[in-house]
Amino acid sequence: MITINERSRDAEPVALADAIRAALQVRADGFARIEADAALWIGLAKACTAGWHDLGALWVDDHHVRMALWDAQENCRAIVSLSLKAGAYPSVGLHHPPALRLERAMRDLYGAIPDGIPDERRWLDHGVWPGREHEPGYHFLPVEGNGLHQIPVGPVHAGIIEPGHFRFTANGETVARLEARLGYVHKGVEALAQGASIEKAAKLAARMSGDSTVAYSFAFSRAVEAALGWEIPPRAQILRGVMAELERLSHHVSDVGGICNDAAVAVLLARCSLIREDILRTQAALFGHRMMMDAIVPGGVARDIDAAGATAILALLERIEIGFHRVVRAYDQSPSIQNRTHGTGIVQLDFIRQFAAGGFVGRAGGRAFDARASFPYPPYNAVAFKVPTREESDVDARIWIRIEEIAESAGIIRQLLAKLEDGPIHAAPPPFQPGAGAALVEAFRGDLFLAVRIEDESRIAHMHARDASWFQWPLLETAIDGNIVADFPLCNKSFNCSYSGVDL
């Protein structure tokens, strides 16, 4: 263990904007780079809890632990690095609980010890990794009270849902506590990316969470391009935005249907499934893959569309709007569904702020953060759209955020297609120089952060991605408190967190 002097432990919170002004190292990717000592590290961690800025990611790379932080109001972002001392560093989670699972994961992957962490349990390691069998087994947090019983669910579920274990502690039908245990689809992505070519690493990134494949490819490509100073053609920028919004449309429509199905209204799931199938078939016809996997690549895009393709997308949008309007009308006029979704699965607004929850989870609770608007990147810096928010923070609010975002995405796509001009869709890379880059993009679940470091020519030294679900899974556990067990599928689907995206 390292020894942290009392001065460091007693460090006052430090505003990110002040730290950036002192660093004076803002790079092309929009992130300042700050080399911190223990006192500054702890001060920045404490300021996360104080709400001065948000924790975006925490990872280990090149004998350093790094934090991504941002403050949308001050329009500043930074990657803060602290050198590991004897393999350890001052725990961020000790001061800011949203960092706990990130630190536990990095301890499993790299053996980096967060000094003072209040939760030392494994996260990704399920007790079978070589050389660690002697470590204590996993235990769920205790719950005390009369008449309590436990209900274990998973990790194997019905259908094709990914594996995850949910441990309910209930009093009768009322949930007193839920604790999730994930990590069952750990893939070793960061180890696989190390030393890989940019082309191979791009394919790994695109498969970290398959339903967000466009967003991950978008983030990876922007990070690589920032690291190498790689400029891409305007037409490619537009096509990237079109694909990203089609992906958002597809999953928002699917989620609304899935939530209605969990409220026992299967007919709306059927309608949404037909709409989504229409989207997937159009994507396959135009971009070569139903999910548009590997369509965004460093330097541009791999697939182009002609005038007929643009017309096909516009026709698709009209069909979506007509069909989905019927779904929305049926949802809004059905007392039985409203009874299930109103007031169910409420997330406290303080938790949303503390965890900097993104996407429909955050916006349903009043947090108006959207990477496309808060830190605009091409092509979103050239289009107009609204970021819808609600205050109820329940299942119904998360449905309505999706409904409103579907309309906004359709509007964005129309604006982008109107700007689509002839030109190349891919640019050759510039002369190679080692570098590091980061990107923040808005996936359909929320903000997605990805950082890369490239040392050898066309070889990735390190890649780290942080899915929005890292900060949403813990809020699902709070949302079910006080609800009945039977409402968990409804709450869970309204969050629709990624298992694979956090299992790395």
Q: Domain for residue 126, yes or no?
A: no
Same domain, 424 and 324: yes
Residue 136's pLDDT band, with cuts at 50, 70 and 90, is confident
Residue 137's pLDDT band, with cuts at 50, 70 and 90, is confident
Q: What beta strand segments (E) does 172-272 contain? A: 174-181
Same domain, 280 and 407: yes
Mean pLDDT over residues 298-307, rounded?
A: 98
Phi then psi dihedrals of residue 326, to 5 deg: -65, -40
Mean pLDDT over residues 74-83, rounded?
A: 95
Same domain, 247 and 372: yes
Q: How far apart are CA 159 and CA 196, in angstroms?
A: 34
- Where residue 419 sits, what CATH number does that domain have? 1.10.645.10
Dump pLDDT digits (tens) for 93-117: 999 999 999 999 999 999 999 999 9
Residue 129's pLDDT band, with cuts at 50, 70 and 90, is confident
Q: Are 105 and 467 in contact (CB under 8 A)?
A: no
Q: Domain for residue 152, yes or no?
A: no
Same domain, 229 and 103: no
Dump pLDDT digits (tens) for 164-220: 999 999 999 999 999 999 999 899 999 999 999 999 999 999 999 999 999 999 999
- Where residue 24 sits, what CATH number does that domain have? 3.30.460.80
Dump pLDDT digits (tens) for 387-427: 999 999 999 999 999 999 999 999 999 999 999 999 999 99
Q: How far apart are CA 277 and CA 116, in angstroms?
A: 50
Mean pLDDT of the chain: 94
Residue 1 pLDDT > 60, yes or no?
A: no
Q: What beta strand segments (E) does 254-413 contain? A: 296-297, 300-301
Dump pLDDT digits (tens) for 231-274: 999 999 999 999 999 999 999 999 999 999 999 999 999 999 99
Same domain, 428 and 305: yes
Q: Domain for residue 178, yes or no?
A: no
What pLDDT does 471 receive?
Answer: 98
Model's pTM, two decimal places? 0.96
Domain that holds residue 59: 6-115
What pLDDT does 209 receive?
Answer: 95
| pLDDT, greater one: 7 or 235 | 235
What pLDDT does 456 receive?
Answer: 82
Q: Give 43's contacts (C-beta < 8 A, 6+ positions apart).
A: 11, 12, 13, 14
Q: Bridge partners of 463?
A: 452
3-state helix, strand, coil in the chain (%, to 5): 45, 15, 40
Residue 371 pLDDT > 90, yes or no?
A: yes
Q: How many domains would you assign to the chain? A: 2
Q: Give 191's contacts (C-beta < 8 A, 6+ positions apart).
A: none
Last residue of a domain, one of 64, 91, 115: 115
Same domain, 352 and 458: yes
Residue 2 pLDDT > 80, yes or no?
A: no
Last residue of a domain, one of 115, 130, 159: 115
Residue 129, burial from CB neighbour count under 10 angstroms (0-12, 13-18, 19+): middle
Q: Domain for residue 57, yes or no?
A: yes
How many other β-carbons are positioned within 10 Å of the β-carbon of residue 3? 10
What pLDDT does 6 receive?
Answer: 45
Same domain, 101 and 218: no
What pLDDT does 26 receive?
Answer: 72
Q: Domain for residue 387, yes or no?
A: yes
Q: Domain for residue 89, yes or no?
A: yes
Same domain, 224 and 111: no
Same domain, 336 and 427: yes
Q: Are 498 and 211 in contact (CB under 8 A)?
A: yes
Same domain, 264 and 374: yes
Antiparallel, parallel or unpaired: β 165-171 and 148-153: antiparallel
Helix (H, G, I), strand (E, B) or coil at 289: coil
Q: Domain for residue 310, yes or no?
A: yes
351-356-359 Cα angle (round to 5): 105
How many other β-carbons are positioned within 10 Å of the β-carbon of residue 63? 12
Last residue of a domain, one of 95, 115, 135: 115
Residue 110, burial from CB neighbour count under 10 angstroms (0-12, 13-18, 19+): middle
Q: Where are the alpha helices (DSSP H) in 342-458?
A: 349-354, 359-363, 371-374, 395-419
Phi then psi dihedrals of residue 83, to 5 deg: -70, 135
Same domain, 275 and 418: yes
What pLDDT does 130 receive?
Answer: 83
Same domain, 213 and 326: yes
CA distance readout (Å), 295 to 71, 213, 305, 363, 386? 31, 9, 12, 29, 27
